[in-house]
Structure formats: structure tokens, C-alpha cells
Chain A
Amino acid sequence: MTALLTLDGVSRRFGGLKAVDDVSFDVNESEIVGLIGPNGSGKTTLINLITGVHPATAGHVHFDGHDITRQRPYRIARLGLARTFQIVQPFQRMTVVDKVAAGALFCGHASDVREARAIAREHLEFTGLADMAHRPAATLTLARRKRLELAKSLAMRPRLLMLDEVNAGLNPTEIEEALAIIRKIAEQGVTIIVIEHLMKVVLSISHRLVVLHHGQLIAQGTPREVVADKRVIEAYLGAKYAAGNPGVSN
């Protein structure tokens, strides 16, 4: 397996705060990697560094042989790196189909708006949103808006898809549906990074986990290894629990 994405000593400071501190890891082709960590551990900042929203203050990011460390976000997107947003808000006043078409038009190699809309309809079909193609994006329920984000990202024909809490705020049935879609995407050969709060979700879907705490990478490995890691338990449950119950997972 070859590494599709390589992070090498990546750091980001906001003033005196080290939001991401010297993080290095690889993501291999066709892998599903779970990126986890307690609130404020720097998960979303790390995604912003990879996608070029914030430039890294130190370190390097390589994607598919390109150094994308200080690239403009639109160039990174065109290389095949797509993300969904944790807080679903972009393009609220657009119709559902146009929002997805935007992804196809600017990244998915559609030649004109008409073709982009046709591609968008396929992705709406795939994510089960075909019925609401002409509704304003803002009128959708949270679960559907999250699926719309997925459809938009897929329309960009990504090689690497980063899902920032696509399951937060969903009920168990909705989570099952979302996971089914994510698995189907993975089957198409798309590499996926899942950022997630819900341990159950991330354990069930990821091949490998990367754990952040206070901006630092504290553990990586298979889900089984990671949940048994003393530092991970410490980060989530406190030092006392880690000392008293070695190897206990959630």
C-alpha cells in the first residue's frame, strides 16, 4: 500500500496556543482512518491545515506526490481532496441540486452547468435526496443536510474524502443510514478520513485510528490497539481511571 496523504511534523499556532503540535501520520490508498480526540484536541484545525484553509506554521503535507503545504484551497480541492463541514452552512440559499452541481462543476470535471446538474442528480439519487432536488438547501432537516454535504463532496470526484462529524446530532437510525452510505463510498475506492466524537461509530467503520489530544498525536493503530492504549483512556477519562482499569475500552 502506498501513502496517499502524508503529514510530516505539521504544526499550527494561534498566537500562543499550539492548536496542532508536530503531528505526523500517513493515510494509505483505500483506507478508512478515524481521527478522534476529546473536544478541542485540534481535529478540525488539522483538517483545515490539510485543506489549506489555514496554512501550517511548520511541517509539510503531501498528497499524491504533491506538496500541498501552502497551496491555495481551490488547488488542493482540484487535486481530489474533498471535505464536509462540521457545521453545515455553506450555500444555504441555493437549491439542493445546484449545491451538489457546484461540486461537480468546479472539481468534478463537468464541462458546463447543465452537465453538472445531471451529475448532481446521480449523486442525489445515491444519497437518497433525489426528491428534494429543487428545494432550498436551508429547508432540509439536519440529517438530510449532512447527506447533502456528502453528495456535494462526492460530486467533486474526490480521491480522499474528509468527513467532519457527519454523524453528530443524528439519531441511531440516521447514523446507520449515514454509515451505510460511507461504506458504499469506500467500496468505490475513495480513501476516507472520519472525524468523529461517537466512539461506537468510529470503531465500527475505521481500519485504523489516529488519536489527538491537546493538538498532539498520542496514539495510532487498529481500533483494538487504540482503545487499549493507556494514554487514550487517560485523555478521555482521566489519569485515575487509566491507572485503575488498564485496557478497559468504552
Chain B
Amino acid sequence: MRSWLTLAVIAPLLAALPLVGNNYALRLATTVFMYSVMAQSWNFIGGLAGYPSFATAAFFGLGAYASAILQNHGVPMVPAWACAGVAALLFAAFLGGAILHLRGHYFAIASLIVAEMLREIVNTLPDFTGGGKGMNLPLLKLSVTAQAQFFFYAMLALAVLTVATAIVLQRSKLGFGLRCIQQNESAADIIGINSYAYKTAGFCLSAVFVGVAGAIYASWVNYIDPPDVFDVLISVKPMVMVLLGGLGTIFGPPLGAVVLLLLEEVVWRNFLTMHVAALGVIIVVLVLFLPHGLLALIRERFPTKAMAN
């Protein structure tokens, strides 16, 4: 109940941002929502089930390309976004069948190469995907401000949907089962959990919203190419955000998304030539000194009654 209330308070406040913010603020906020979707999605498989997936970039790029190809073949934008989500989901179901029997580091490495594999496939099919030259997407016939607002609301809606999914999942049988798997998969089998089916379901959930986010991103920036949408950082950042905010929690991932983006902006401005290195140092420090995330820190300072349950 408290989670729903929090969402019901925060979402309208965020929706009011275009009334006060300029286009720069809207662009930042849209990015935060996108990050939040990616972090929340990673949390479904990485946080709840304890499977450190590096496949986020694969789902993101797949969604971006699926939507771009469909739109270039005349499919309207929003249905193309939905199809991108379905494509990511089906791909995750197929991929999960292939690699979810691996555990720990083995799973991490297997998931890491998926984005590279897709990138190579895109590169080798230039007639279909534009290859290394990338793809243009249809331009929207809207003013610059109207476009900024449109994508702001689209990404916000997706982020809210992802948080809502997380809240439902946390209380569901599936979420409960994933937490059992995270703690001890063999023991989860013994109490009757079909861990293979559960992990695959968690993996699909971690893909579908990322696929849509990739599709919205492609429409937003109008142009995609393989190094951009299959970037390994797209896989790494969600993990950092979740660790930053709080692993396995509902509002940890969005919180981590906000903090990481702010850090990125500050670091980017001040360390233009070595911002990735600076970001790396910050990540190491955070993991060493804040292992349970910011949300745990906040809860320690302000304990509530609900925590006793």
C-alpha cells in the first residue's frame, strides 16, 4: 500500500515538470526515466533472482532496431514501440532457454556477449538495418518543445508502468519465488519451485520494458547506429544504479537512476577527457562504502513501522 501511495504522489509531481522546467531539464528528466526503466528491469532478474544479467544492452538495441525497421516499413510509431517490447520479450524467452541454466559468473559472461552478437548481426545486414551507417527514423512534425514534452511523457509513462510492475511483482508468487531462487536455487527446487520457468519469466520481464525504452529512445534521437544502442555501458549502468539505490527494492532503482545521472552530468562537465574513468572510481567507492544502497541508508535514518513487517 505504501509503495502505491508513494508512486501516486511522485508520478503527478513529475508530470508537472514541463510547466516549470526548460527543455534542458526535460531532456535530463527523460533520460532519468529511461535509466529508471533500465535499472528497474535489471532488478527483476539481477536483484530479485540474483542473476547478474549483462543483456540489458541487447534488449535495448533490439527494441531500438525492431522499432526503427518497422517504422521504416510504414508501421506507425506507437504500435512499433509495442512490437519492440514484444520482440525483446520473445528474444529473452529464447535466450533464457539457452543460458539460464548457467549460474553466477558463467551466466554473466554468456549474457555479456549477446549484445556484441546482435551488434555484429546488425553490421552484416546493411540492406535491412543500415549496417554500420545506422538508421534514420521518421521525423515528427512537431515543434522542438512539443517533441521534448512528448518524449518526456512517453518515457515517464513507461517508467511508472515499470515501477507498478515492480510493486505487483514484489507481492506476487513469482516475486516470492525469485527471491527464494536468489537465496538458494537448489533449496528452491526442493520446495517445489520450477526455478527454470521462474527465472525465464523474470528474464522476460527484465527485457520487455527495456525493449520499449530502446524504441522510444530511437524515435527521440531520430538516428541510431550499432555502437550507440548496443553500448556495453547500457548493460553496466543499470547495475550501478540498482546497487546505488538498493538491490531488490522497489524505489531503489529509480533513486539510483537519479543519482547516477546527476553524477554523470557533474563528472562530464568537470572531467571531459576522462569522465568514464572518474565515473569508475565513483562506482568503486560507492560499492565499497555503500553496499546496501542509498535506500537502506535512508531507512536507517528514518525507520518506519512498516519496516517491522
Contact = CB atoms under 8 A, between A and B. Distances in A.
Contacts of B194: 72, 74
B179 interface: yes
Size category of the A interface is: 20 to 34
Given A94-B179, A106-B177, A53 B186 contact: yes
B183 interface: yes
A134 B305 CA distance: 13
B191 interface: yes
Interface of B: 171-173, 176-177, 179-180, 183-184, 186-195, 308-309
A105 B180 CA distance: 11
Given A72-B189, A102-B180, A152-B191, 10 more contacts: A51-B190, A52-B189, A85-B187, A94-B183, A98-B176, A101-B176, A102-B191, A106-B177, A113-B173, A116-B176
Given A53-B186, A92-B183, A134-B309, A106 B192 contact: yes
A90 B193 contact: no
B195 A112 contact: no
B170 to A, nearest CB: 9
A91 B192 contact: no
A83 interface: yes
Interface string A49-87: 001110000000000000000001110011000110100
Nearest to B308: A134
A93 interface: yes
A106 B171 contact: no
A91 B189 contact: no
Contacts of A74: 189-195
Contacts of B195: 74
A101 B180 CA distance: 11
A34 interface: no
Majority DSSP secondary structure for residues of B touching A: helix
B173 A89 contact: no
A156 B192 contact: yes
A107 interface: yes
Nearest to B177: A106
B187 A91 contact: yes
Contact of B190 (A53, A89, A92): A53
Given A90-B184, A91-B183, A134-B309, A106 B191 contact: yes
Contact of B191 (A107, A112, A113): A107
A112 to B, nearest CB: 7
Interface string A190-220: 0000000000000000000000000000000
Given A77-B190, A134-B309, A112 B179 contact: no
A74 B177 CA distance: 12
18 contacts: A52-B189, A53-B186, A73-B189, A73-B190, A74-B193, A90-B187, A91-B180, A91-B184, A94-B180, A94-B183, A101-B176, A102-B177, A102-B180, A105-B176, A106-B180, A107-B192, A113-B176, A134-B308
B187 A77 contact: no
Residue of B184, B192, B195 ringed by the most chain A CB atoms within 10 A: B192
Contacts of A83: 190
A89 to B, nearest CB: 7
A106 B186 contact: no
A107 B187 CA distance: 13
